[in-house]
Amino acid sequence: MAQKLSTSIVNKWKGHLNQMNALQEYLDQNGVTRYQVAKQTGIANTTLANAVKETKPLSGQTVKVISAVAQTLGKTPSQVLDDLIELDEDNSK
């Protein structure tokens, strides 16, 4: 019984590793940390922490967060959103 329970817990944990939030993955791909975004734009680190939770869908991201990421990367919010949509679609395949 304990063996089955521990296997179930491990499998559930592994599943969470594969569910990286699209915004966090995007930041990682661009070599930018949440701290850097917060420092450069003034957006609260807690706002960014909530935005990168693995349960937060791309459709739930705010203009404030997208704009802050765009400002940090020297891109337009439209470019960042297009990149995030593409990344999210690739991850759902």
Per-residue pLDDT for 11 more than 80? Answer: no
- Angle of CA points 80, 13, 27, to nearest 5°: 15
Going by pLDDT thresholds of 50, 70 and 90, the confidence category of residue 38 is very high
Task: State mean pLDDT over 22-40.
Answer: 97
Q: What gap in Å lies between CA 22 and CA 54, rounded to an integer?
A: 8
Q: Which residue has the tokens 């559930």?
A: 12
3-state secondary structure the chain: CHHHHHHHHHHHHHHHHCCCCHHHHHHHHCCCCHHHHHHHHCCCHHHHHHHCCCCCCHHHCCHHHHHHHHHHHCCCHHHHHHHHHHHHHHHCC
Give me the domains of the chain, ranges plus CATH numbers: 21-91 (1.10.260)
